[in-house]
Amino acid sequence: MVIENDRLLRALRLEPNDRPPVWLMRQAGRYLPEYLKVRAQAGSFMDLCRNAELASEVAMQPLRRYPLDASILFSDILTIPDAMGLGLQFMSGEGPVFERPIQNLKDIQSLPLPDVEEQLGYVMNVVRAMRIRIGQKLPIIGFSGSPWTLACYMLEGRGTRDFAKARSWLWREPQGLQLLLDKLCSSVTDYLAAQANAGADVLMLFDTWGGLLSEAHYREFSLQPMMKIMQALQTRHGCSLPVILFSKGCHTQIADMCESGCAGIGVDWRIDINNALQQAKGKLAVQGNLDPTVLLADPESIRSTVKKQFADAVDHAGFIFNLGHGIMPEVPPDNVTVLLEQLRQLSD
C-alpha cells in the first residue's frame, strides 16, 4: 500500500523531497498533559504499553498537535528482556528495574528465547491499532533496543550512569557476553519482523549505550550484532524495510555505521549535523540532531537554532530533522510548536 506522506521513506531512499521530513524521538510522552491522563487511566506504564487501545491513542496524540511526518510505536526498549523472564518494573524515581537480573554464565545459558507473537503479541497489537487509526496517511516506525543496550540493563539490573557491572563482562566473560548478544540478536530479529508484519513501515534500533564502548568494542559488541539483525531480517524473514541505527555518543563510528547495511543513522548533538552528513557521503540518510535541551529555552533561541541546523543540512538528500535524543518531560508543549512552525516557515 502507498503511504500518502512518504517524506520519511523518500529520505531513507535518498530521493528528492519537497522538504526534510521531521519527527521527534519521544514525541508521545510525559511532556503532553493528554498523555498523563491516559497514563493515569492505564494504571502503570507497562499496563499502558500492553493496552492496544490506550497505547495507540498515546501514539496519535502528538499527530493531532503537530505537523509530523511519522508516527512511532509507543512501547519500551526493554520488552524483550521482560519476555525472557527478568521481571521488568518501573520504580518511581528510579526508572526500569529488573527483579531477576543476570548474575552469571549459567543464567545466560538458561535464558529462554521468547515467542514474540505469544509473549510480545501485545506490541504487535499496538502496531495494528495504530495502522487502523492512521490508515495510510503516515509511516509507522517500529523499534527495539539494540542487543548491547538490552544486555546492559539485563546485566546491571537497572539503569546506571556508566553500567560498570555490565561492561566488566567485556573483560572477564566475553564469551558469555557474546552468547547473551547472540540470543538477543535472534529475539530482536523476530521481534522487528513481527512489527513489520503487523504494519510498521520503518524499523529502528536504539543503541542508547553504544557510546560507553571503545571503538573496537563498539564494532565487536554493538555494531556487529546490529548488522546480524539487519542481515537476518532479510535472509530469515524476507523483510526489506529500511532500518535506522541510533547509536548515542558514537559519532566517531559513523564510517563503520555507513558500511553496516542500514538505510539511515541517527546522531546526537555532540556532532555538527553538517559534519555527520559529510561523513555519510550520501551513502545513507542522517537523522538528528538538535540538542533536546533547546526546547527548554526561550522561543527565539529555539528559532535561531533551528535556522542554523536547517541551513547546514537542507541541501543534503536524506536529511531527517529530529532531536539528538528524546523530548524531556519538562518541555512545554508550546515550545515544540515553536520548533515545528519555524521549520515549516523555512521549508515554504
DSSP 328-339: PTT--HHHHHHH
CATH number of 7-347: 3.20.20.210
Specify the length of the chain in residues: 348
The span from the CA of 307 to the CA of 39, in Å, is 35
Residue with cell 519537497: 18
- Tell me the whole-structure pTM to 2 decimals: 0.97
Distance set, CA 275 to CA 44, 210, 307 (Å)? 41, 20, 17
What is the pLDDT, as a whole number, of residue 158?
93
The span from the CA of 209 to the CA of 174, in Å, is 17
Q: Where are the domains of the chain?
A: 7-347
The span from the CA of 76 to the CA of 145, in Å, is 8
Burial readout 174-211 (b: 16 or more C-beta within 10 A, e: otherwise): eebbbebbebbbbbbbbbbbbbbebbbbbbbbbbbbbb
Query: Secondary structure of the chain: what % helix, strand, coil (to 5)?
Result: 55, 10, 35
List, by residue number, the catalytic residues.
26, 30, 39, 76, 153
Q: Which amino acid is present at 183?
A: K
DSSP lists the bridge partners of residue 90 as: 96
Contact 322, 288 (CB under 8 A): yes
Helices (H), the chain: 7-12, 33-42, 45-50, 52-65, 79-81, 105-109, 116-119, 121-134, 147-156, 164-172, 174-198, 215-217, 224-237, 254-258, 273-280, 299-313, 333-347
Q: And the C-alpha cell for 227?
A: 548488522
**Contacts for 109 with CB less than 8 Å, ≥ 6 apart:** 179
Contact 58, 41 (CB under 8 A): no
What is the pLDDT, as a whole number, of residue 244?
98
The span from the CA of 257 to the CA of 239, in Å, is 20
Kindly give the parts of the chain with pLDDT less than 70: none
**Contacts for 170 with CB less than 8 Å, ≥ 6 apart:** 177, 213, 217, 221
The span from the CA of 165 to the CA of 167, in Å, is 6
